[in-house]
Structure 1
Amino acid sequence: MSLLLALPAAVGLWLVTGGRALPVARARITTAVAAALTLLLAVATALSDSSVDRPWLPQLDVRFSFGVDGIAVPLVLLTAVIGVLVAAHAWVEVPEGGTPATFLGCLLLVEAGALATFTARDAVLFFLAFELVLVPMWLLIGRYGDRHDPRARTDASQRFVLYTAVGSTLMLVGILALVGWAGTSDLRELAGGAGAALTHERQLTVAVLLVLGLAVKVPVFPLHTWLPPAHTTAPTAGSVLLAAVLLKMGTYGLVRLPVATVPDGFTTISPVLAVAGVIGIVWGGLVCLVERDLKRLVAYSSVAHMGFVVLALAAGSDTGLQAALFANIAHGVVSALLFVLVGGLKLRWGTADLASPRPALRETSPRLGFVLILGLAATLGLPGLAGFWGEVLAIYAAWAPASSRPGPVFVVCAVVAAVGAALAGAYALRVARLVWIGDRPAPGAEAATPDTDGVEAGVLGVLAIAVVLLGVVPGPLLAITAAASAAIGGSP
């Protein structure tokens, strides 16, 4: 466990500081080796159930405590796999804006912070790890983002910092209140009854602060407006990490903190969270129907899909919790696939504007065309692909919520969410018509889009296989999260 956290952090910090003058080839090799070793350590940690627990700040009763369970293991493995894929993608694209070593070091630092977040067993450690990710991601967006529009890049990076800083402040106040009132920062003790022993008023206060702070990171409507500009501006590797890893930190935080530690307070605000989630589902789908920028369209689809995760969590049942955890992983894989694909198309076209006529991708670039259709099918929740199970189980959980939830409210949310799923089909078909079927190119436009090969084809291939496996064989992932979900206390 200690090596899992230390390796990417140490190598990433060295690349950003002392090794920032490394030639690009050596920086790539260093990053790839560190990411591969981190993946091996993640697998070993998951299989051995490794953990570390040492005194750190005895005066505050804060311990250096990290470990994994059924909820953390899938996210740790997802983060490590995505780390390898973005390190490999650096052989395809290293954006301008600074030294290549600094860019690659930021990727490793984001991975290290996410791994620490998913394994922290102390509430204070969770917050510190959560914050560790923000600085390297800000650099990825602000320094290595799209060079075509400096003003948009600056706006996106500043909005990212502003929103996340405000959300983190609310989360910190909530964590301090929870730790102060409960008398412990150990997440296992808080989930085991120390948090539930608080009065309802204190639980409600903590739940509101934590949910508001974490909702920014998920993001939940209407706190989502930082995400589309960040995705549109960020380099491909940054968008992949942002969608597949950073957003998962928000939903994981919801599970670990308000859901597990202050269940009565979370129950009280769950209808509001469910309504916000389904509004995000519909709003994201409607925006995708008219959005012209392909990368921004995928970002808004992320807002819609994370709405299903929030709805499932708000339902309060064991089914809802497992649906949220499965949808979390599924969205991470599908969004990574789409952002690698769209980033590659933007690099080839010079723009992601859907209004520009394109030659048919199915004819000029059949491999890219196949991956596009696979990603769009997974986005609309086609059975047999990763997106199906999380959305279906989320709608089912809302239709039959826990007895402590207001049934009519959640039934209406389930119906609205189903309508949002239909919107996903509509905007997926729109993209397929414009890009896969295509149109005759405008005068002077390129006659064809170069097809994928080499490292890019390998990255897309790995993600495509994961999308299919999660859809065809969902049982192993559900089995991993089953015991931990039941321990949190979800109702049947």
Structure 2
Amino acid sequence: MNAVLIALLLLPLVGAALTLVPGLFGRDEHTAGRRALYLGVTVTGAALLLSIALAVGFDRSHSARMQAVTDVRWIPALNVRMHLGIDGVSLPLLLLTTLLTFLCAVYSLHRLPDGPGTPSPRAYTGLLLLLETGMLSTFAVLDLLLFFLAFEVVLIPMYFLIARWGSGNRGPAAARFILYTLLGSAIMLLGFLLLGLHAGTFDMTVLAQRHGRGLSHTTQVLAVLAIGLGLAVKAPMWPFHSWLPDAHTAAPTTGSVLLAGVLLKMGTYGFVRVLLPSAPGGMATLAPYLAAFAVVGVIYGSLACLALVRPGAKGDLKRIIAYSSVGHMGFVLLGIATLTPTGINGALFANIAHGLITGLLFFLVGAVKDRHGTADLDRLAGLGSGTGGALYGRAPRLGGLLAFAAVASLGLPGLAGFWGELLAMFGSFQPAAGLSRPAYLVFMALAGLGTLLTAAYLLGVVRRVCMGDPAEHAALGAAPHIPDVQAYELATWTPLVALTLVAGLWPAVLLGLSNPAVKALLGGS
């Protein structure tokens, strides 16, 4: 098992290195580009198979125990070890990462942005594989300094994916993305050093076993403040979210899928993996403030989306989904802030559900933008027609999938988006001992209001884009019919649709994995 995990982390790194070998893909630029894209599909497909092999070999009856462990000395002078392993918290995130990266590689074979000034597909493939290396490593390493390195590796490839393959105001959006996250990471590194030096170890499993013993309350609070700030920027938690809408609006479709589907999860994963077990006293002190910021994010994200959905607001669909992510990740942070197994399990479930559903949404919006040449909601809806964009009549399969993803995102029972938000609110109803129950009941009520607002704006998107009379829409100059779902799109989107249904109808498949691990991280058995 440990050899499989090591191979999983090394494979995309080796693939990225191969894209740098001169002449490996031939001298003809077009042929070399296609071969590089096929290399990306092959490597990411092999990584997906390795992650499935890890899942098959994983002992579900002991999901709280680290498995596939590698632990060797790396930098003895700093007591830093090459420590790898997976448990019931990290395994679903590894699977999500390899799945989304593989689907993005397949999609890129047909829809890779090109044009004057766009780098070669070989450069794109190299960056995609380097990005996958960083994302997988973040969920597999068990040393604080290694976690920081993996956390940072993803920034450079994502920056270039936005800046070179994006659209619109891509340069400033990419710059804001990397500046915000680098600033947060610099403060987070100080927190890691504070925690590791005072504890005498950077090993995350040792810190979890001690559960704060040997660390003063002041040290724990300072560590949570510093580390939590860096994680909050990546999460993204209000008010540190402002880089996200611009980054999503400018990013190419695959960049948006991975940014929303995986990169945002790295921040919330850090709260669960690092702060909850290592500094429980600091988390208990600051949890009410984290919960307050989380519910503000839920309400703020929903209100921003409602404002963008209004006719005449010129709301960009990608921007709407970006603001919706602020709200959805607010539920994840609220679940973590309850410090209860129920709330934290809900947060981890919501992480996976958001990755599946929002990944599907960004794929669908990318397809709509490719067909119409715009993601502007007013133009898509045919402002002035009074009926909407008529996607049901012009491309019924595409319209049906967009509606499915929207109702999954609003938390319809039976789909993946329902359980995480419900459990986060259940955790708020009865928070951990020592937390103010009246305050958390207020947080629960505000989160419940957020679910209503979420339904309002997502149904508004469906009404304006999918419904309407195709003939009336065509009278405004739009084509009466547009290409419906293509074969490569169906192959890319079907796994996300199927998993959204499976997770919604069979939540125990995830909760059974995470619950023992969460109890162990909270100091229980």
Superposition TM-score, scaled by structure 1 size? 0.97
Structure 2 residue 518 is the aligned partner of structure 1 residue 485:
yes
> Conserved in 1, the CA contact under 8 Å of 2:228 and 2:271?
yes
1:288 is matched with which residue?
305
User: What letter corresponds to residue 113 of structure 1 in structure 2?
Assistant: G
SS in 2 for 1:67: strand
Counterpart among 101, 106, 111 of residue 88 in structure 1: 106
Deviation, 1:16, is 5.1
Structure 2 residue 284 is the aligned partner of structure 1 residue 267:
yes
- 5 Å matches for 1:185-196? 185-193=202-210, 195-196=212-213
Structure 2 residue 484 is the aligned partner of structure 1 residue 451:
yes
1:31 is matched with which residue?
40
1:383 is matched with which residue?
413
- 5 Å matches for 1:306-325? 306-325=329-348
User: What letter corresponds to residue 172 of structure 1 in structure 2?
Assistant: L
> Conserved in 2, the CA contact under 8 Å of 1:402 and 1:491?
no
Structure 2 residue 256 is the aligned partner of structure 1 residue 239:
yes
Choose 225-234 or 251-260, whichever is displaced more: 251-260
Distance 1:106 1:25, change over 3 A: same
SS in 1 for 2:105: helix
User: What letter corresponds to residue 47 of structure 2 in structure 1?
Assistant: T
SS in 2 for 1:110: helix
SS in 1 for 2:435: coil
2:446 is matched with which residue?
416
Deviation, 1:415, is 0.1
SS in 2 for 1:51: strand
1:133 is matched with which residue?
154
Deviation, 1:490, is 6.6
Structure 2 residue 477 is the aligned partner of structure 1 residue 473:
no
Structure 2 residue 362 is the aligned partner of structure 1 residue 339:
yes
Distance 1:346 1:205, change over 3 A: same
1:15 is matched with which residue?
19
> In the TM superposition, what whole-angstrom CA distance separates every residue of 1:343-370 from its partner, at most 9, and x where no partner exists?
1111111111111116411111111111
Query: What is the alpha-carbon root mean square deviation over aligned residues?
Result: 1.5
- 5 Å matches for 1:64-213? 64-96=82-114, 97-146=118-167, 149=168, 152-193=169-210, 195-213=212-230
Deviation, 1:465, is 0.8
2:6 is matched with which residue?
2
> Conserved in 2, the CA contact under 8 Å of 1:381 and 1:391?
yes
SS in 1 for 2:19: helix
1:437 is matched with which residue?
467
2:349 is matched with which residue?
326
Counterpart among 464, 474, 478 of residue 497 in structure 2: 464
User: What letter corresponds to residue 488 of structure 2 in structure 1?
Assistant: V
Q: Return 5+ residue gaps in structure 2 as ranges.
A: 59-66, 309-314, 383-387
1:355 is matched with which residue?
378
Question: What is the CA–CA distance in structure 2 between the aligned matches of 1:434 and 1:29, rounded to whole Å?
Answer: 38
Question: What is the CA–CA distance in structure 2 between the aligned matches of 1:301 and 1:38, rounded to whole Å?
Answer: 30
2:311 is matched with which residue?
none
Deviation, 1:405, is 1.1
Q: Return 5+ residue gaps in structure 1 as ranges.
A: none
> Conserved in 2, the CA contact under 8 Å of 1:318 and 1:490?
no
- 5 Å matches for 1:245-256? 245-256=262-273
User: What letter corresponds to residue 42 of structure 1 in structure 2?
Assistant: S
Question: What is the CA–CA distance in structure 1 between the aligned matches of 2:21 and 2:127, rounded to whole Å?
Answer: 11
Question: What is the CA–CA distance in structure 1 between the aligned matches of 2:445 and 2:39, rounded to whole Å?
Answer: 50
Deviation, 1:17, is 6.0
4+ residue runs over 3 A deviation = 16-22
Question: What is the CA–CA distance in structure 1 between the aligned matches of 2:211 and 2:277, rounded to whole Å?
Answer: 11
Question: What is the CA–CA distance in structure 2 between the aligned matches of 1:403 and 1:194, rounded to whole Å?
Answer: 17
> Conserved in 1, the CA contact under 8 Å of 2:211 and 2:280?
no
Deviation, 1:449, is 2.5
Distance 1:270 1:320, change over 3 A: same
Superposition TM-score, scaled by structure 2 size? 0.91
User: What letter corresponds to residue 303 of structure 1 in structure 2?
Assistant: V
User: What letter corresponds to residue 410 of structure 2 in structure 1?
Assistant: L
Deviation, 1:467, is 0.8
